[in-house]
Amino acid sequence: MDSILVKGGGALQGQIPIAGAKNACLALMPATLLSEEPLTLTNAPRLSDIRTMTQLLGSLGAEATSLQDGLVLALSSHGAINTRADYDIVRKMRASNLVLGPLLAREGHAEVSLPGGCAIGARPMDIHTDGLAKMGADIELRDGYLHAKAQGGHLKGAVIDFPFASVGATENIMMAATLAKGTTVINNAAREPEIVDLATCLRAMGAQIDGDGTSRIEIQGVDRLHGATHRVVTDRIELGTYMLAPALCGGEVECLGGRIDLLEAFCEKLDAAGIAVTETDKGLKVARKNGRIRAVDVTTAPFPGFPTDLQAQMMALLCTAEGTSVLEEKIFENRFMHAPELIRMGADIEVHGGHATVKGVQKLKGAPVMATDLRASISLILAGMAAEGETKVARVYHLDRGYEHVVAKLSGVGANIERIKES
């Protein structure tokens, strides 16, 4: 099992190219099941989760080819479709559940295993299945599989009121509704950029969708969708992560492809903490304004709020801020598992339920630490880059699910970092 070895010290300087969004691409790829014509995705991220989704689509009868060193995905579902998504693949990644809506819409039935993913708390499928049930699907859980069948062989439009703004459920219902009979309205829909990106792609395929980016999305079902070429939106979580690198270590880094509108709430917190974010022709330039970082309070929230996927990285920054910060996690439980590892590095953190109180210290100290999930992995690497001495981050297999070429990107701006192959 690989580890990442980081030696702290030294300001960063240079440019970091930001990849296409993992969470957007994982929703875009199942859209190929909605059409018999080719779907081409450009600016695709090169990640293990993308390979898992490629494997899943292949098991369903779709063709998925990686081109241009993985930056382009050529997808096609022109042949016979298998409607059973097996546990052996689905268990590896929660986003596998996004094949449920497209399979139901195209074939009228599906068997999809309950999904897996990071151990950051319960993320039930009820909101997905309740929405599909309103569209005329009979769904039963048997032997760990969701057995779904559309009444009369096809889904019907419906008004669906989500109890909370679920990104995955919004994506699943949107895709299912494109081929349903009639009009579907999603109230309390998720507003994330990844939702807008999926809607943009589906419209390019011939879908009739209005309201994406707002809490009310309306989809008028059509008889068929056609092929399209679509560029995956910039990964706002990778962007935010690398924006924090010069904030922690000093120096100035330009994040190529970055846009403030993807991370407005995050950028506001950086400004309050004493970090300057400047738009350039190529992206976003980030540097400390002057002196030590100031403490800020952070509460995670659905978009356009502060992203839960940047909470761990922000905690790493606030460990050395001047003053006391309070972080409140309101999206997932069990998402402060990185706190004990940061404490091993000298951080002063107290966790009580969904709140973490961080008292800034002058300097973190390098230590052996263990990653518990994807975002915790990168937060510990960032902390190690700013710490005195050497930090060894174990169990970094999580990283490959969400960050491509981490070592190359960070060493390219001056970080002392290497990946160690463990026997």
Question: Could you give the residue numbers annotated as active site?
Answer: 118
User: 192-216 b/e with 16+ CB inside 10 Å = b?
Assistant: bbbbbbbbbbbbbbbbebeebeeee
C-alpha span between 318 and 18 (Å, rounded): 23
Closest CA to 240 of 202, 183, 282, 286: 286
Please state, in angstroms and as integers, the Cα–Cα distance from residue 113 to each residue in 29, 95, 129, 131, 174, following that order: 18, 12, 13, 18, 20
Closest CA to 171 of 25, 43, 17, 335: 25
C-alpha span between 281 and 257 (Å, rounded): 9
CB 311 within 8 A of CB 293: no
109-113 and 145-150: which strand pairing?
Answer: antiparallel
CB 327 within 8 A of CB 356: yes
- Residue 258 tokens, joined: 């970055």
**Do you know the residue count of the chain?**
423
The secondary structure of residue 260, as a DSSP letter, is G
User: Among all chains, which residue has been given the structure tokens 């761990």?
Assistant: 312
- Residue 176 tokens, joined: 């299912």
- Residue 422 tokens, joined: 């463990």
* Strand partners of residue 80: none
CB 195 within 8 A of CB 173: no
Gyration radius (Cα) of the chain, Å:
22
Closest CA to 361 of 376, 349, 377, 379: 349
Closest CA to 368 of 397, 398, 399, 389: 389
Cis ω for the linkage preceding 304 (within 30 of 0): yes
